[in-house]
Amino acid sequence: TQLTRTLSNGTELPLFGLGVWQVDDGAECERAVTWALEAGYRLIDTAQAYQNEASVGRAIRDSGIPREEIFLTTKFYPGGKDARVEAEKSLERLGTPYLDLYLIHWPQGGPTWAWPGMQAAVEAGLTKGIGISNFGADEIQELSKVAEIQPAVNQIQFSPFEYRRALVDAGEAAGIVAQAYSPLGTGRHLGDPVVARIAEATGHTPAQVLIRWAMQKGLSVIPKSTHQPRILENYNVFDFELDAAAVADLDGLDTTGETADALSRGNKWWS
């Protein structure tokens, strides 16, 4: 069983999955997704801009896992004109009948212009949910005011060093679940001494500590790796809990200066 959060459209977003940013289309991507699905991952996050949708789709089909057991996300590249038309093209590359989540990759051109096309993608049955990525609090508010279908997710860079609690809180207030990309700081945070100390004390690895921390903040977390041992390692985050002291030490690594403390409401928001 997977930990999930229920999105505003009623679907269940796994709290853990594989991100495939900067994974080459072809064998590298196909292998990574295959290993992840074999390990038990049920959330795969790609994007038009990653140019590896075809490999993601092939690995999913070849896995033999029923499509409805996998949560598949891709992202609209804001250089495109019409988000609905682009969703159709993504589905063709992915070789799948629907998306679970379709995100605007970043708010280029403003936070609202692409939204009618995103909503049309839902209405056409191309995707179950729609959301945003790399939106700030003001952009969330501007979009929420005009959206008929509210965004379900905001995918943001998030780690103890980028502990963007005011942004997460702004999203939660609008019914938007935050999802953490680059939870390892693209690998840069793995050598931090505080992270290393907590890893040693808990008998886990630095990657597991960083992933677990973000999950305990209620975020869905999508670390990237193309190496099977790491893909397996990153998945092993369901058998331990960081205690309050460890969480506080990790919180202290923040460099954003965001202070709104919405996350003190507790660290178990998932079902």
Say if CB 113 and CB 79 are below 8 A apart: no
Greatest Cα pair distance, the chain, in angstroms, is 51
Is 160 an interacting residue with respect to ligand A2P (CB under 6 A)?
A: no
CB 84, min distance to ligand A2P, A = 29
Which of 41, 50, 163, 181 is an active site residue?
Answer: 50
Residues in Cβ contact with 142 at an 8 Å cutoff, skipping those fewer than 6 apart: 110, 111, 112
112's tokens: 């609202």
Q: Phi, psi at residue 163, to the nearest 5°? A: -90, 85
Cα–Cα distance for residue pair 115/112, rounded to 1 Å? 5
Q: How far is the CB of 190 from ligand A2P (least distance, A)?
A: 5
**Contact, 56 vs 46, CB < 8 A?**
yes
**CB closer to ligand A2P, 36 vs 177:** 36
185 binds ligand A2P (CB under 6 A): yes
Task: Measure CA 243 to chain center.
Answer: 24
- Nearer to ligand A2P among residue 196 and residue 262 (C-beta): 196
If one asks whether residue 214 binds ligand A2P (CB under 6 A), the answer comes out as no
Q: Does residue 207 bind ligand A2P (CB under 6 A)?
A: yes
- Tokens linked to 222: 């999508």
**Does residue 150 interact with ligand A2P by CB under 6 A?**
no
User: Which CB, 34 or 144, lies closer to ligand A2P?
Assistant: 34
DSSP 152-195: -EEEEE-BTTB--HHHHHHHHHTT-EEEEESTTTTTGGGG-HHH
Among 67, 145, 227, 268, binds ligand A2P (CB under 6 A): 227
Q: Is 227 annotated as a binding residue?
A: no
102 is catalytic: no
The annotation places the binding site at 105
The residues binding ligand A2P (CB under 6 A) are: 19, 182-187, 190, 207, 223-227, 230, 233-234
Q: Which residues belong to the active site?
A: 50
